Amino acid sequence: MVTEIILVGIPTTPALSGFLFLLFLLAYLVTILGNFLIITLIWVDYRLHSPMYFFLSHLSFSETLTITCAVPKMLVDFLSEKKTISLAGCFSQSYFYFLSACTEFILFAVMSYDRYIAICSPLQYPTVMTHPLCVRLVILSWLGGFLLILPSTILKGGLPYCGPNVIDHFFCDSAPLLHLACVDIKAIELLDFLSSLVLLISSLTLTMVSYVYIISTILKIPSVQGQRKAFATCASHFTVVSMGYGIAIFVYVRPSQKSNLHFNKILFVFSSVVTPLLNPFIFSLRNETMKEALKDTTSKIQIFLKGLKFN
């Protein structure tokens, strides 16, 4: 029975491994610092104490968890000859990665609903999107992700894994891990497919419907300046949603994922490294309120440091 799994990753030379290590380490650190900065600004700046930024802080935390589940082990493997992980560690990595990923897609739909209320019913927005409702929506997002992947995780944990013990991937992705089992896995593959389909299609439908109403409402605004301001509040979210859904549907909404595993590794880099890396820049650079909060916070820190210097 398999107790240890070998992660193949990218077959490289020592020099290339060192370069990739530095590249992914830089991407990981920038992502962690960027999301930490977003979360900190949202909690300390009063201008960001609104439902939209409350959901954004939890999205940033979810993306931090997603990249932390995958990249640190990848970095270790770049510098190690023995690229192994225990079977229990492999299941843990896979579970928490997909927990945060599922929660992220539910948060996409929640954020779309928030923008729909803000733009289509602005007078009712303060009474509808109350803080208790926002807290409940976030809790339901994490609970939904937990319940969605729990059945297949329990079934996979009960399968016999008798070899081979090699996964041709950077991390313990669901499909390559499942194909190490020495029993028929078609039923669990179907369950994974249906779970992915339900999650992505339901959240994508709610997101698309929300944006159809949002765009139709914005186009009715008489002034061009008003239209631009309304579009600006949704542009960052829409960009992130498009990248997230596009990659996820292409990779995971298939009955069998055994083929094209090499191509899946490339898409994994985009979904788990590039997208979380870009999201803090998308949300901060395209958002005037966020940029003003960052500028004011930076000024306060500089004044505080100057005060310490003179004291």
Above 90 in pLDDT, residue 133? yes
Above 60 in pLDDT, residue 282? yes
Above 60 in pLDDT, residue 87? yes
Least confident of 183-192, 211-220, 248-257: 248-257
50-86 pLDDT, tens digit per residue, is: 898 899 899 889 989 988 988 898 888 888 878 888 8
92-104 pLDDT, tens digit per residue, is: 888 998 899 889 8
The backbone torsions φ and ψ at residue 85, rounded to the nearest 5 degrees and listed phi first, read -150, 145
Above 80 in pLDDT, residue 108? yes
Q: Please, which pLDDT band fits residue 285 given cuts at 50, 70 and 90?
A: low
Above 80 in pLDDT, residue 215? yes
Looking at residue 44, its pLDDT comes to: 86
d(CA 97, CA 80): 22
Fold of 4-284: Rhopdopsin 7-helix transmembrane proteins (1.20.1070)
Per the CB < 8 A criterion, the answer to whether 297 and 45 are in contact is yes
222-276 pLDDT, tens digit per residue, is: 877 777 777 776 777 777 777 777 777 666 655 555 556 666 677 777 778 888 8
* Mean per-residue pLDDT over the chain, rounded: 83
**Mean of pLDDT values over 26-42:** 90
The backbone torsions φ and ψ at residue 5, rounded to the nearest 5 degrees and listed phi first, read -120, 140
Share of the chain above pLDDT 70, in %: 90
